[in-house]
Amino acid sequence: MKDSELWEAMTRRDSLFDGQFVFAVRTTGIYCRPSCPSKRPKRENVEFFANTTEATAAGYRACLRCKPDAPKLVPPNRAEKLALKRERFKAALRAGGNVTDAVYDAGFGSPSRVYESAQEWLGMTPGQYQRGGEGLRIRYAVAKCIAGRLLLAATDKGVCAAALGDDRDRLISGLRDEYPRATIEAGDASLKAWAEEAARTLGNCRLPLDVTGTPFQLAVWRELRGIPRGERRTYSQIAVRLGQPAAVRAVANACAKNPVALLIPCHRVVRQDGSLAGYRWGAARKRILLDADALSI
């Protein structure tokens, strides 16, 4: 980054840049995080360093207020806390526990409120989820794609799952493990056409979706669907667009929970330094998909 960009990040106390650089003040001999709440010095008294080691080597000492030499602890935000509770709730249901007990074990205070909202983020009632999707009818199709094979699964409402892998039988087995009591069967020619279109276009097709998630996850996934083929975004850029610049980790978690490969193109999101980060279906596939995206522009 240019010094002018570092200065702008520092003057607005942007916590997204904490850990990416420090600024030092010549008149005080102190270096700080970009987000330090202290009064901002004059521009001519400031110099920037890539890390605390460089600042210390230049003769500066760490600020006692923002403690730039200490690891930054990022507390979970409300969306992350809620997502963790819901994951614990789902795990308790899968373990066969009583629904009411699962509510309290997960950290919720009111069973009624969980029941009211469960249809939105489970896609079914808690009892139905506990019974492994009993009563659901899910059809699937598998198509070859540049990253191996793509399994597309759909309810009557739309695509509920899309997964990448090398082994067709293993992909189907994974779908059955997720919904052990649902009626799962091979789809017709129209679903096969959907799968082939998604594989050919790398997700650049507007198929109807039937996915559930927290409000924050759904907002992240909407942003991801707006990334054009051939372009990339960083986790921090997504967080800023959602009006929650500190929620970078929550954005990464939402990408990891994406249930539909390609159709919600989480492979187009990378770290601030351009490195790939993780990918639910494997880092090697993420590289293949990004390279294929680049060739299409």
Query: What contacts 81, CB < 8 A, 6 or more positions away?
Result: none
| Rounded Cα distance, 59 and 4, in Å | 23
| Rounded Cα distance, 31 and 198, in Å | 51
Query: What contacts 241, CB < 8 A, 6 or more positions away?
Result: 223
Beta bridge partners of 49: 22
Catalytically annotated residue among 63, 66, 255, 266: 266
Query: What contacts 219, CB < 8 A, 6 or more positions away?
Result: 242
* Cβ(153)–Cβ(194) below 8 Å: no
| Measured torsion, CA atoms of residues 108, 113, 115, 121, in degrees rounded to the nearest 10 | -80
* Cβ(36)–Cβ(65) below 8 Å: yes
Catalytically annotated residue among 32, 63, 66, 255: 32
Task: Note if 266 is an active site residue.
Answer: yes
The first and second tokens of residue 26, run together, are: 């010549």
From the list 153, 208, 148, 194, the residue with the least C-alpha distance to 175 is 153
Can you give 47-107 as a three-state secondary structure string?
EEECCHHHHHHCCCEECCCCCCCCCCCCCCCHHHHHHHHHHHHHHHHHCCCCHHHHHHHCC
Residue position matching structure tokens 């970009």: 34
Indicate which residues carry an active-site annotation.
Answer: 32, 266
